[in-house]
Amino acid sequence: MVDAADALRDAQSRFEQRLTRDERVEPKDWMPDGYRRTLIRQISQHAHSEVIGMQPEGSWITRAPSLERKLILLAKVQDEGGHGLYLYGAAETLGASRDDMIDALHEGRAKYSSIFNYPALTWADIGAIGWLVDSAAIVNQIPLQRCSYGPYARAMVRICKEESFHQRQGYDIMLTLARGTAAQKAMAQDALNRWWWPTLMMFGPPDAESDHNSESFAWKIKRYGNDELRQKFIDQAVPQAEVLDLTIPDPELAWDEASGHYRIGPIDWDEFRRVVAGDGPCNRQRLAHHRRVREDGAWVREAVEAHADKTRARGLRARVGTGSR
Ligand code: FAQ
């Protein structure tokens, strides 16, 4: 007879073999509690980021400079909401409930990306967000397509495709402004100045200070460290800024022949820690807005649930032959 300890050892060994063979872990497979917790933490934070990330851009929908720009921005902001939904769905496959995840966000137990605590002050910020923030999101998320957890990895495939359209729309806005009047070009430069450093912080703390790197590597959730991905982004963005004829706001930025990478000046990690701790320019506003919208939308969720209950009850009555008219 196989006792509980043997069964657990077998399950653990099957899980490890699956990771070694680079096979996906699926919702019904046994997984260690820590693996499940790490995924719920990361995926729910990712979902919150997508949804909170709708706010800075959403504030420009009514002020977009043309009908075409308005339509494109509307589509992008809707996509971000959709990404949040896929990701909440992926976290739910791990046993997390949507309400608990949202409560954790509202109570400060769950985070969302630091980047969305900065304001979008001008139309050029919409360009900078699309160009820089979406580029950073893509660089970070492409390896997540190979994350060991199936539902997260599959959600990433679709999300990355949509993010690449988002990146292009942002770069196109920057290109239009940078090739426009002197005032427009100055607006683009100002947006780059404000979004550059916060974008570099999106990748998370330096590897030496990352709490989760080692476990996440072992579990094949993360494939690369925060610093490596940050560097990849920098190496891509610098030539793109050159095409725009804009200046990266870093006097120490320099090409390093020996390493084949750009070197940058120091990142202000105190600012990162302040923003993550809740003291960025827009943290309070972002969370207050999210709470308000959730309360305003409560009647919609109640109506959807009531409708689902009615439909279920009707189906049940039909099956037992007491169908209502
Ligand atoms: N902001 O040990 P690590 C987007 C926290 S989506 C806030 O290195 P990990 C789309 C971290 O949670 C952008 N907190 O952590 C879009 C941990 O705290 P915890 C979001 C951060 O998880 C575009 C602590 O620091 N993308 O932009 C940040 O191994 C335009 C220690 O850090 C994702 O979420 C930060 N920047 O690595 C939408 C991608 N960085 O949880 C609208 C998925 C770190 O113990 C418009 N996530 N922290 O309390 C990941 O890849 C990882 O979670 C990292 C962090 C790389 C972000």
The Cα–Cα gap between 199 and 128 comes to 10
Query: 81-96 burial by CB neighbour count: b if 16+ within 10 A, else e?
Result: eebbebbbebbbbbeb
Evaluate: CB of 137 within 6 angstroms of ligand 1.
yes
Evaluate: CB of 274 within 6 angstroms of ligand 1.
no
The Cα–Cα gap between 174 and 85 comes to 29
Please report the pLDDT score of residue 325 as a whole number: 46
Asked if 289 and 106 count as a contact pair (C-beta separation under 8 A), the reply is: no
| Long-range contacts formed by 241-244: CB under 8 A, 24+ apart | 241/192, 243/175, 244/174, 244/175, 244/178, 244/188
Q: Kindly give the distance from the C-alpha atom of residue 25 to the centroid of ligand 1, in angstroms, as a whole number.
A: 22
Please report the pLDDT score of residue 317 as a whole number: 84
Q: Kindly give the distance from the C-alpha atom of residue 46 to the centroid of ligand 1, in angstroms, as a whole number.
A: 7
CA-nearest of 219, 198, 207, 214 to 274 is: 198
Evaluate: CB of 113 within 6 angstroms of ligand 1.
yes
Please report the pLDDT score of residue 319 as a whole number: 80
Is residue 297 classed as helix, strand or coil in its secondary structure? coil
pLDDT digits (tens, 9 = 90+) for 118-148: 999 999 999 999 999 999 999 999 999 999 9
The Cα–Cα gap between 227 and 158 comes to 25
Name the residue with tokens 């959600």: 155
CA atoms within 13 A on the CB side of 59: 18
pLDDT digits (tens, 9 = 90+) for 8-21: 999 999 999 999 99
CA-nearest of 126, 127, 140 to 46 is: 140
Evaluate: CB of 73 within 6 angstroms of ligand 1.
no
pLDDT digits (tens, 9 = 90+) for 83-92: 999 999 999 9
pTM, whole model, 2 decimals? 0.95
Q: Kindly give the distance from the C-alpha atom of residue 6 to the centroid of ligand 1, in angstroms, as a whole number.
A: 37
Whose alpha carbon is nearest atom 23 of ligand 1?
134
Q: Kindly give the distance from the C-alpha atom of residue 276 to the centroid of ligand 1, in angstroms, as a whole number.
A: 10
Q: Kindly give the distance from the C-alpha atom of residue 320 to the centroid of ligand 1, in angstroms, as a whole number.
A: 50
Share of residues in the chain with pLDDT > 70 (%): 98
- The number of residues making up the chain comes to 325
Residue 263 backbone dihedrals phi, psi, to 5 degrees: -95, 145
Rounded to whole angstroms, what are the CA distances from 278 to 40, 227, 272, 283?
Answer: 21, 23, 10, 6
pLDDT digits (tens, 9 = 90+) for 37-59: 999 999 999 999 999 999 999 99
Evaluate: CB of 212 within 6 angstroms of ligand 1.
yes
CA-nearest of 194, 29, 179 to 95 is: 29
CA-nearest of 220, 289, 213, 270 to 56 is: 289
Q: Kindly give the distance from the C-alpha atom of residue 179 to the centroid of ligand 1, in angstroms, as a whole number.
A: 34
Q: Kindly give the distance from the C-alpha atom of residue 238 to the centroid of ligand 1, in angstroms, as a whole number.
A: 23
C-alpha 170: how far from chain center? 17
Q: Kindly give the distance from the C-alpha atom of residue 173 to the centroid of ligand 1, in angstroms, as a whole number.
A: 26
Whose alpha carbon is nearest atom 42 of ligand 1?
53
Whose alpha carbon is nearest atom 50 of ligand 1?
42
Name the residue with tokens 């991905």: 229
Atom of ligand 1 nearest to the CA of 46: 34
Name the residue with tokens 């590897």: 207
Whose alpha carbon is nearest atom 8 of ligand 1?
210
Evaluate: CB of 205 within 6 angstroms of ligand 1.
yes
Please report the pLDDT score of residue 42 as a whole number: 98
Residue 9 backbone dihedrals phi, psi, to 5 degrees: -60, -40
Whose alpha carbon is nearest atom 17 of ligand 1?
211
